[in-house]
Structure 1
Amino acid sequence: MQNLIAEMNWDDIRVFVALVRAGSLSLAGRALNVEHSTVVRRMDALEKALGLRLFDRLPRGWQLTVEGEQLFSRAEQMDECAHALLRDASEGAALSGTVRISALPAFSTAFLAPRLAALQERWSPITLELIGETRMASLTRREADLALRVGRPQDPSLVVRPLGALGYGLFAHEDYLARHAPQDWRFIGFDDSLRDAPEQQWLDRYRAQRPYSVKGNSALTLHQAALGGLGIALLPHYLAAGSAGLAPIASDPPPPRRDLWLVIHPEVRRSARVQLIAQLVTDVVSAASNLLCPSS
């Protein structure tokens, strides 16, 4: 078997597939941009290497033998894999193309988008797809090239990189705090789809028996509800910072921090465009570490 593989010219497989698809020597030669005599020579070499007769060479044309028919589907698969390999190699070496990033909606919208926009000249040949979603996109199924996760993924097949931490705090509109004593506070939190999130569990304990006024499945919704004066919200610092009218509320113990991870599927991590975007995401997160998780 090893001797057979060593003797075989893999380009002959391509010619074999082209000949079967074209149906004639002349059409195959035209498709391959070679003389039909070259096609004949390649098929002679392939049959010799395999030790099989692939075609009955009849006056009215070449017809596949039973052995040829059996091998054609395998040869077609090999030809398609070779084209895919070359295509992936070409795309991997180029900066043009698309990179899809999956992240929580608030982080994608309020943090990543404006900061990557400021660096557009560094990635302008690339099309970015910023996918804001609370579900865990499957990198194994190539639903995204990169993902930002709170909490370390447990899938051992993925490449993970720690980026830092996200800090949270209690916030409410200053007018709401002026009108309501703490015992009368109403709260803004996640709905049941996110009831197991550590920050939501902390808020459930903190509020005790005090009621919720609004629930949602995105920190963006909670943020807008707090700005509208609907109660006390637990928000990531990057989202609450700079929001006119929102006032921080001290709490003891403080809300939990969440570790932030960059996740990449190993099949795409060597792509030049994926590497570039991964580095830019790392840079903008590192530069904003004090905003994302203030030390005090």
Structure 2
Amino acid sequence: MSDPLWNLDWDDLKVFLVSVRCQSVSGAAKELKLSHSTVSRRLSRLEHVLGSALFERNRDGLFLTTFGRSVLTRAEEVVAGINNLRSELSGDGPTGGIIRFATMEGIASLYLASRLADFQASYPSVRLELLTTPRQVHISHREADMFLSFFQPHGDDMVSKKVGAFEIGLYASPGYIEQHGLPQTPDDLSKHHYVGYLDQFVELDTVRWLEELVKRPRIVFWSNSMIAQRSAARGGLGIVALPHFALAENESLVRIMPELSARRSIWITVHHDLRNLPRIVALQKYFKELFETDASYLAGEIP
């Protein structure tokens, strides 16, 4: 009797890898430009060929089984081998390939995205995919190749390194200060209005910096977006707590009580199996050097 693995279809393996990244059949179907039923059928066919379930399926999406994690490791080795072969044949070198890195919306949009051109120029064969999210990214589930966070994630399959830090201060618009006055002491802060995060959407305690700087702030505007909070404060709705990097493109906010400050470390986490890939090593090195170069700016010492 022939080995059923001879019936394994490479296209089904690609569908599997994309489904792991998207964590849903519908997401994979959209990325692959296939119908929902086609993706579902190919996953079922792959499970049949391999002889065991790859995913646990529920309303929240697809989650790898223990067997699925094992298959994922082998599938990524196959993909890495193919990418290396393509790089060698095309002359792109060993750093070629895709890196999907995830981080919070604020630092992605207001700081990192505008600073990636130098990396792309140095590594033109690397395709960068930036995923913004308000929650912890599970590297062990392969939601991304790299996670840049304000805390140290923990897990057996992950490698984390602290690569930098930034500080947060209180800001308000000149119009707000003219109408409500400039707070001078901690007691003054209790009399003012604030802009803050929607509590039910805050999954990471590390972004609760307003509450760290002001006890029981009287919030009048809530948003799950740092950019929206900044805009609301600019319009005079209230005082906002912002990382100093968020002020790069906005000079219409005034720092309030500079002695009040919160600090967050920046961590980079990658899956243990990816830690030595040349493109991953290159991007980690680039981020570390970037945060070191911008250390004073991130600390709010440079306007």
Which aligned pairs between 1:127-206 and structure 2 lie closer than 5 A? 127-181=127-181, 182=183, 184-192=191-199, 193-194=201-202, 197-198=205-206, 200=208, 202-203=210-211, 206=214
Query: Does residue 282 of structure 1 match 2:297?
Result: no
TM-score by length of 1: 0.66
Which aligned pairs between 1:67-86 and structure 2 lie closer than 5 A? 85-86=77-78
**The residue matched to 1:108 in structure 2 has which SS?**
helix
Distance 1:83 1:199, change over 3 A: closer
**The residue matched to 1:140 in structure 2 has which SS?**
helix
Query: What stretches of structure 1 of length at least 5 have no aligned partner?
Result: 1-15, 22-71, 75-79
% identical equivalent positions: 23
Which aligned pairs between 1:1-296 and structure 2 lie closer than 5 A? 85-91=77-83, 94-181=94-181, 182=183, 184-192=191-199, 193-194=201-202, 197-198=205-206, 200=208, 202-203=210-211, 206=214, 208=216, 211-250=218-257, 254-294=260-300
Aligned pairs, number:
224
Cα deviation for residue 84 of structure 1 reads: 6.2
Say which one has the larger Rg.
1
Bigger shift: residues 81-90 or 135-144: 81-90
Distance 1:125 1:188, change over 3 A: same
CA distance in 2, matches of 1:133, 1:73: 33
Cα deviation for residue 17 of structure 1 reads: 5.6
TM-score by length of 2: 0.65
Query: What stretches of structure 2 of length at least 5 have no aligned partner?
Result: 8-48, 52-71, 85-92
Distance 1:121 1:263, change over 3 A: same
User: Deviations along 1:179-225, whole A, 9 cap, x unmatched?
Assistant: 212455210011112286355365376254x5212111122221111
Q: Which runs of 4+ in 1 moved over 6 A?
A: 80-84
Cα deviation for residue 258 of structure 1 reads: 1.1
CA distance in 2, matches of 1:199, 1:141: 23
CA RMSD of aligned residues (A): 3.1
| Aligned equivalent of 2:32 | none
